[in-house]
Structure 1
Amino acid sequence: MYETMDELEDAVRRRLYRMRDLGDDMAAIRVRETSPDGVVTVEVDGNGKLLDLEFSEAISRLAPSDFEKTLVDTAMAAARQAFAQRGELIEAFNEEMRR
C-alpha cells in the first residue's frame, strides 16, 4: 500500500491531525434553543451538557408543571441538534478514513 516509510509516516501524521481536528470540531459545538413561547433559552455543548440557561420575565406566569415541561422540552431540542451536528462530524470523519 505504501511504497516508502516516508509515505506511511505522512499518512499516519495526516490521520492523527485529522483526529485532532475532529476532537476540536466536536468540542466547539454549541447549540442555543429557545422555547416556542420565548420563555426559556438553553445552550448546550456537543455532549448535551447544559452551558447556559436564560429565562424571560414571562416565566413568572407559568405553572410549575408548565415550566418544567418547557425547560425539559427546550433542553432536549438543543441536545438533539447538538447530537445531530456531532453525528455529521463523525460521519464525515469516518468517510474520510475509508479512503
Structure 2
Amino acid sequence: MNDKLDSIVERADRALATMHDASETLSALRVMRRSVDGLVTVLVDGTGAMIDLELEPDLSRTSVRHLEAAIVATASEAATEALRQRARILEQMQSSLSGT
C-alpha cells in the first residue's frame, strides 16, 4: 500500500511542477511587433494586453488616421501571436498532465 501512495504523491508532485512551469512561462511571455513602416512598436503580455507602445520621434509627416491604423494593426498582430503562444504553452501543459 505504501508503494501506491508513493506513486500518487509522485504523480501529484510532477503535475504541480508542470503547472508551476507553465505558469512561470505564461507570466514571462512577451511579444513585440513593429509596424511595417517602422513608426510603431508594441509590446504585449501573455494575455495580449498592451504593456508598452513606442512611437518614432518624428511623426510630423504622419496623419493621425495612419498612425491610429498602424497602432491598432501592430497591437492586433502582437496580441494574436501572444495568444497563439499562450495556447501552445497550455496545450503542452495539458499533454504533460495527461501523462502524469
TM-score (norm 1): 0.91
Q: Which structure would you say has the larger RCO, counting Cα contacts within 8 Å and 6 or more residues apart?
A: 2
Q: Structure 2: which 5+ residue stretches go unaligned?
A: none
AA aligned opposite 1:93: M
Q: Secondary structure at the match of 1:92?
A: helix
CA RMSD of the aligned region, Å? 1.1
Query: What is the aligned-residue identity percentage?
Result: 34
Aligned pair count?
A: 97
1:42 is paired with a residue whose SS is: strand
Query: Which residue does the alignment assign to 2:75?
Result: 75
Q: Is the 8 A contact 2:18 2:96 kept in 1?
A: no
- Name the SS for the 2:59 alignment partner: helix
- What TM-score do the two structures reach when normalised by structure 2? 0.91
Alignment of 1:17-36 (within 5 A): 17-36=17-36
5 Å-filtered alignment, 1:5-44, equals: 5-44=5-44
- Tell me by how many angstroms 1:12 deviates: 0.5
User: In structure 2, the residue corresponding to 1:37 is in which secondary structure?
Assistant: coil
Unaligned runs of 5+ in 1: none
Alpha-carbon distance, 1:58 to partner: 4.1
Q: CA deviation at 1:20?
A: 0.9
Deviates most, 61-70 or 38-47: 61-70
